[in-house]
């Protein structure tokens, strides 16, 4: 498998943010850019002309690749997440499970709803299905003040791997390990390593 992180050109969010919560010298993502990226929601990757300048995975022969599918979905999710946000939502090192755990902890009234939605995303079998569930979760994450952000470069990699059976299992395990870090350790008998 080719790792989408090896692209020669940085992803859109990498060009506008430093990955730790600050905008680069180019400043905030323009609203017109985000609107163009949102136009791709539910559309086949590479078929929305307004999105063409933002891809790194378009290929000269017009082939629909797993890399393009993953990048397209991540671009649309980023645009949904960044909409109306003053600070960048791309945060290097914050995996999906970690971001959703923070959401769960900050919005106790909907912890069960986050659990259900995350479970639905994690058990999805197709990229379209996982994308549908992730859009709902990202929208919910966007609504939380001081939200933790999300590593969109890692998400591209996760969505790329999701398209392969062995990759899906690996991504599920990583997301689960990040998300279930909240599981109470107090139930363990004394002297048991956590």
Domain ranges of the chain: 4-181
Where residue 184 falls among pLDDT bands split at 50, 70, 90? low
Lowest mean pLDDT of 5-9, 20-24, 46-50, 134-138, name the range.
5-9
| Per-residue exposure over 96-126, b if at least 16 CB sit within 10 Å of its own CB, e if not | bbbbbbbbbebbeeeeeebeebbebbbebee
Q: Is the pTM of this model over 0.75?
A: yes
Range from 48-57, 138-147, 161-170, 178-187 carrying the lowest mean pLDDT: 178-187
User: d(Cα 131, Cα 93) in Å, to the nearest integer?
Assistant: 21
Q: What is the pLDDT of residue 95?
A: 96
Please state the rounded mean pLDDT for residues 121-147: 90
What is the average per-residue pLDDT within 19-39?
A: 87
Backbone angles phi, psi at 23, to 5 degrees: -80, 150
Using one digit for the tens of pLDDT, what is the confidence trace for 74-101?
999 999 999 988 889 999 999 999 999 9
* pLDDT surpassing 70 at residue 164: yes
Task: Check whether 110 has a pLDDT greater than 90.
Answer: no
Return the DSSP state at 112: H
Q: Mean pLDDT across the stretch 165-191?
A: 78
131 pLDDT higher than 90 = yes
Confidence tier at 1 by pLDDT (50, 70, 90)? very low
**Helix, strand, coil fractions of the chain, as percent rounded to 5:** 55, 5, 40
Cα separation, 38 vs 47, in Å, equals 13
- Tell me the pLDDT of the chain averaged across its residues: 87
> Which among 13, 179, 17, 163 is positioned nearest to 80, based on CA atoms?
13
- Please answer whether residues 135 and 79 qualify as being in contact, where contact means their C-beta atoms are separated by less than 8 angstroms: no
pLDDT band at 30, cuts 50/70/90?
A: confident
Q: Are 159 and 74 in contact (CB under 8 A)?
A: yes
CATH number for 4-181: choose from 1.10.10.10, 3.40.50.670, 3.30.465.10, 1.10.520.40. Answer: 1.10.520.40
Number of Cα atoms under 13 Å in the Cβ half of residue 63 = 6
Average pLDDT of span 9-16: 92
Alpha carbon distance 14, 19 (integer Å): 7
Q: How confident is the model at residue 187 (pLDDT cuts 50, 70, 90)?
A: very low
pLDDT value at position 179?
A: 94
How many angstroms separate the CA atoms of 94 and 146, rounded?
14
């Amino acid at each position: 498998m080719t790792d989408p992180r090896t692209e020669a050109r940085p992803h859109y969010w990498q060009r506008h943010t430093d990955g730790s919560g600050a905008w680069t010298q180019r400043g905030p993502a323009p609203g017109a850019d985000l609107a163009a990226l949102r136009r791709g929601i539910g559309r086949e990757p590479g078929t929305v002309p307004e999105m063409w300048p933002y891809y790194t995975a378009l290929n000269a022969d017009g082939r629909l690749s797993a890399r393009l599918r993953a990048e397209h979905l991540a671009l649309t999710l980023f645009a949904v997440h960044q909409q109306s946000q003053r600070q960048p939502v791309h945060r290097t090192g914050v995996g999906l499970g970690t971001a959703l755990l923070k959401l769960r902890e900050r919005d106790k009234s909907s912890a069960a709803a986050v659990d259900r939605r995350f479970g639905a995303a994690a058990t999805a079998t197709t990229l379209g299905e996982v994308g549908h569930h992730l859009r709902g979760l990202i929208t919910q994450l966007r609504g939380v003040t001081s939200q933790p952000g999300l590593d969109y470069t890692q998400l591209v990699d996760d969505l790329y791997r999701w398209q392969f059976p062995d990759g899906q299992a690996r991504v599920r395990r990583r997301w689960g390990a990040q998300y279930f870090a909240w599981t109470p350790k107090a139930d363990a008998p004394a002297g048991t390593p956590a």
